[in-house]
């Protein structure tokens, strides 16, 4: 629960002016799980950009007044960003908007560059100044510098891709064009679709396309550049197949919504399968399989299907807990997990329970959950995790806790089980991750340390700063 995705992007390209802000708003709602810190939207009305960005959820930032202030337009780009707090981070809200020598650009980005520090240094040496601390501004600089001599924005993007290293799924907009880009490794998902009236949609996940009533066409290929213009869609593939496919496997396990399909694989099905593999790898005799809402439910059902142990709805999530939940009172802190999750005694009392969750970071959340179930009368609790143990930082856009806080770096599964009070503990087997990804390449560096790109020698502190798990 303390693993964070960095972002989600959304774009819309229509041939006629319409309420693109409304469509974008719905799309961002559907991508909200990819980032809850801030969100933003830029609408393009015949070359005039109108924007609104702020800290907060989509429902908070886009009030009826704000939405009705947007003009009609033919394009919009939107973004959701994940979650630290603090007044000064408003400037990191996206999409980023810049004016450059050839015009305007709005840019929304999901991912992290692995050579960001080096690129930034080179830019600063040539006189660049930075308003934000995000990689997105670096990308904007490099694209606009290429644009000084490149004949078109898409050519500038393609040239820039020779310099950018790491994870970037982009949706950007000039006065007249919208461009979607997925990095050659394909670290982060990106797909596009179409509405009934021919309007094109670009989104980090397919669930956003279906939510706005569209039909998914396909995922972008790793390395592909899609250019949306009045004349249609142009696909540029010069960067495709220059690198191996390395989709983040944790998208299937945790980040993505179960109703999304990524690179041809249903997220729901991948999780069901993860549960089935877990059941085969770590069988146990028990009375009921309980998933930790929301992301552990599918894997729990898969475990139940494979093992024949009945599926139970044994934990209830308080659906009113929002970003704003606070813990008043020092002595009340331990209550906070009770506020968020409640056990159903009728399901667990006197039972041997298989508890399925998606990950263990520091172990504290798991420990509290197990205590909660024991207080509700569970006899034995067998914890099954639908991912391998976290052992390494991610340089491609996932905010994993610092290595010294990762419980799996200092204990083996039995030690962890004792530490958190579980009767047994089983992780998803590293060597079967390929089954989740349906055969295509994937990145599992956070589990196995096999980084597809060179990694920065001077790890910037701010990306790996410790974050408190729940």
What residues have CB less than 8 Å from 331, skipping those under 6 apart? none
Tell me: does residue 305 bind its own copies (CB under 8 A): yes
The single residue listed with the structure tokens 């506020």 is: 339
Question: For this structure, is 207 an active site residue?
Answer: no
Residue 394 assigned ligand-binding role: yes
Tokens linked to 115: 């050579």
Smallest gap from Cβ 402 to its own copies, in A, equals 20
Mark the segment that binds its own copies (CB under 8 A) among 227-235, 277-285, 316-324, 432-440.
Answer: 316-324
With CB under 8 A as the contact rule, the residue among 335, 409, 410, 450 that binds its own copies is: 335
C-alpha distances in Å from residue 160, one per residue of 112, 116, 155, 164: 15, 13, 9, 6
Tell me: does residue 466 bind its own copies (CB under 8 A): no
Q: Where are the alpha helices (DSSP H) in 358-444?
A: 364-375, 413-420, 433-436
Ranges within 78-117 binding its own copies (CB under 8 A): 87-88, 91, 96-101
With CB under 8 A as the contact rule, the residue among 46, 130, 162, 285 that binds its own copies is: 130
Smallest gap from Cβ 442 to its own copies, in A, equals 19
Tell me: does residue 172 bind its own copies (CB under 8 A): no
266-295 burial, b if ≥16 CB within 10 A, otherwise e? bbbbbbbbbbbbbbeebbbebbbbbbbbeb
Alpha-carbon distance 71 to 50, whole Å?
Answer: 8
Residue 358 assigned ligand-binding role: yes
Residue 39 assigned ligand-binding role: no
With CB under 8 A as the contact rule, the residue among 45, 118, 155, 259 that binds its own copies is: 259
With CB under 8 A as the contact rule, the residue among 198, 238, 280, 325 that binds its own copies is: 325
- 35 closest CA partner among 80, 77, 3: 80
Residue 240 assigned ligand-binding role: no
Alpha-carbon distance 409 to 399, whole Å?
Answer: 17
Tokens linked to 284: 């146990």
Mark the segment that binds its own copies (CB under 8 A) among 44-52, 158-166, 360-368, 462-470.
Answer: 44-52
Ranges within 51-70 binding its own copies (CB under 8 A): 51-52, 57-60, 63-69
Alpha-carbon distance 275 to 256, whole Å?
Answer: 16
**Is 220 or 288 the residue whose CB approaches its own copies more closely?**
288
**Is 46 or 91 the residue whose CB approaches its own copies more closely?**
91
Question: Annotated binding site for Mg(2+): which residue ranges?
Answer: 295, 357-358
Provide the annotated active-site residues. 7
């Amino acid at each position: 629960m303390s693993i964070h995705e960095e972002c989600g992007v959304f774009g819309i390209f229509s041939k006629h002016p319409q309420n693109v802000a409304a469509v974008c708003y719905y799309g961002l709602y559907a991508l909200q799980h990819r980032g809850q810190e801030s969100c933003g939207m830029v609408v393009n009305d015949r070359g005039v950009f109108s924007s609104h960005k702020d800290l907060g959820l989509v429902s908070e930032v886009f009030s009826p007044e704000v939405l009705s202030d947007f003009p009609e337009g033919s394009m919009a780009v939107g973004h959701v960003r994940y979650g630290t707090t603090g007044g000064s981070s408003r400037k990191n809200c996206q999409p980023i908007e810049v004016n450059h020598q050839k015009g305007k650009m709005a840019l929304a980005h999901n991912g992290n560059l692995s050579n960001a520090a080096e690129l930034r240094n080179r830019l600063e040496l040539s006189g660049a100044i930075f308003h934000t601390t995000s990689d997105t501004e670096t990308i904007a600089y490099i694209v606009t510098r290429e644009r000084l001599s490149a004949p078109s924005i898409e050519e500038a993007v393609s040239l820039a891709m020779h310099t950018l290293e790491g994870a970037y799924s982009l949706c950007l907009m000039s006065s007249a064009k919208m461009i979607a880009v997925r990095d050659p490794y394909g670290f982060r998902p990106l797909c596009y679709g179409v509405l009934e009236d021919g309007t094109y949609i670009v989104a980090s996940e397919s669930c956003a396309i279906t939510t706005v009533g569209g039909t998914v066409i396909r995922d972008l290929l790793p390395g592909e550049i899609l250019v949306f213009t009045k004349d249609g869609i142009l696909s540029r593939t010069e960067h495709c197949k220059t690198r191996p496919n390395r989709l983040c496997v944790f998208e299937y396990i945790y980040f993505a919504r179960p109703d999304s399909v990524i690179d041809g694989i249903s997220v729901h099905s991948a999780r069901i399968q993860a549960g089935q593999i877990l059941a085969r790898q770590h069988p146990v005799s028990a009375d009921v399989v309980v998933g930790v809402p929301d992301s552990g439910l599918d894997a729990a059902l898969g475990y139940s299907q494979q093992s024949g142990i009945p599926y139970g709805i044994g934990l209830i999530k308080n659906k009113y807990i929002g970003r704003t939940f606070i813990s008043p009172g020092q002595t009340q802190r331990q209550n906070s997990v009770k506020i968020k999750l409640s056990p159903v005694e009728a399901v667990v009392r006197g039972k041997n329970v298989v508890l399925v969750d998606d990950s263990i970071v520091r172990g504290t959340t798991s420990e509290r959950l197990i205590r909660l179930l024991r207080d509700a009368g569970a006899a034995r609790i067998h914890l099954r995790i639908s991912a391998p143990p976290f052992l390494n930082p991610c340089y491609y856009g996932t905010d994993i806790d610092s290595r010294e806080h990762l419980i799996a770096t200092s204990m083996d599964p039995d030690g962890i089980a004792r530490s958190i009070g579980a009767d047994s503990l089983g992780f998803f087997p590293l060597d079967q991750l390929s089954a989740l990804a349906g055969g295509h390449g994937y990145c599992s560096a956070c589990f196995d340390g096999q980084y597809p790109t060179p990694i920065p020698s001077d790890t910037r502190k701010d990306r790996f700063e410790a974050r408190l798990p729940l």
